[in-house]
Amino acid sequence: MAELFNEQAKQYSESRPTYPEELFQFIASKTPCHDLAWDVGTGSGQAARTLAGIYKNVVATDTSPKQLEFALKLPNIRYQCTPPKMSIAELEQNVSAESSVDLVTSAAAMHWFDLPTFYQQVKWILKKPDGVIAAWSYAKAEINAASANTLLQILYDNCDPYYDPRARYFVHDRYRTIDFPFQPVDGLEHTGPFEFKTERLMDLDDCFTFIKSWSPYQTAKDAGVELLSDDVVQDFTRAWHEDANPKKVATFHISLKVGKVGN
Beta-bridged to residue 61, according to DSSP, are 40, 80
Helix, strand and coil in the chain, % to nearest 5: 40, 20, 40
Tens of pLDDT, residue by residue over 182-212, are 999 999 999 999 999 999 999 999 999 889 8
In three-state secondary structure terms, 229 is coil
* Cα atoms in the 13 Å half-sphere on the side-chain side of 110: 28
Tens of pLDDT, residue by residue over 61-104, are 999 898 898 888 999 999 999 998 999 999 999 999 999 999 99
- DSSP 8-state secondary structure symbol assigned to residue 113: S
Q: Among 2.40.128.20, 3.20.20.70, 3.40.50.180, 3.40.50.150, what is the CATH number of 1-260?
A: 3.40.50.150
CA end-to-end distance (rounded Å), the chain: 32
Separation in Å, CA 248 to CA 200, 203, 213, 236, 243:
8, 6, 18, 13, 10
Tens of pLDDT, residue by residue over 156-180, are 999 889 988 887 888 889 999 999 9
Separation in Å, CA 91 to CA 121, 129, 260:
8, 20, 20
For the whole model, what pTM was predicted? 0.90
Q: Are 255 and 192 in contact (CB under 8 A)?
A: yes
Residue ranges per domain, the chain? 1-260
